Amino acid sequence: MKFCILLVIFISSLFAQSYNFTETRYSDAFGQSIELKGVIRLEENALKINYESSNKEIVYKDSALVITEDAKVLDVPKLQAQNMGMFLQIILMLHSNDEDVLNEHFTMKQEENKTVLNPKGNLSQYIEKLTLVKHEEQLKEVKLFLNNADHITISIEDEIR
C-alpha cells in the first residue's frame, strides 16, 4: 500500500500538471488587496503562468524567465525580472518537494495545519516568511510575507486534467 502511494506521488511529479489558481496581493502602501485568476502549469524544472485578465504569458524554465504577449517576447526590467524569478523559483522548489533544496533555502516548522518556512541567506532580504497549507498531501495555499509588509497569497484550486 505504501509503495502504491509513493508510486502515485512519483508519477504525479514526473508529468506536467496544470492548476487553476487565485492570486491575492495585499499592498501595504494602500491597505488594499487585488485578486487575479489564472492557470499555472508545473513541470519538473519549469512553469508557465497565464492570467485571465491578460494576454501575457510567463515562462520560467531552467532558471530563465521569458514573458511573451501575443507571441512577442517582452523586455522585462532587470529588477522586476529578478523579483519574479525569485518568486517563481520558490514555487518550483515547493512543487519539487525536494527536502534538500528546501532545507538549503529555508528553516521549516509545522504550525497547526500549515508549514512555516523562514528564508535563509539572500531570500531573507526580501521575504519574511512563507506559509504552506496542504490538504490530503496536495498543496492548497502558499502565502509569501514580504519584508515591505506586502503579502501575496496563491490559492491552488483544482488540477486541470
Give the residues lining the site for another protein (CB under 8 A).
25, 27-32, 34, 36, 44-45, 51, 53-54, 56, 62-64, 78, 80, 83-85, 87, 89, 96, 100, 121-122, 125-126, 146, 148, 150, 152
What's the closest the beta carbon of residue 112 comes to another protein, in angstroms? 27
Contact between residue 133 and residue 153 where contact means Cβ atoms under 8 Å apart:
no
Residue 89 vs 155, nearer CB to another protein: 89
Q: Which residues contact 132 (CB under 8 A, 6 or more apart)?
A: 94, 114, 115, 117, 139, 141, 142, 143
Q: Which stretches of 15-98 are DSSP H helices?
A: 78-96
Residue 34 vs 113, nearer CB to another protein: 34
What's the closest the beta carbon of residue 54 comes to another protein, in angstroms? 5
What's the closest the beta carbon of residue 138 comes to another protein, in angstroms? 21
Residue 83 DSSP SS3: helix
Q: Which residues contact 8 (CB under 8 A, 6 or more apart)?
A: none
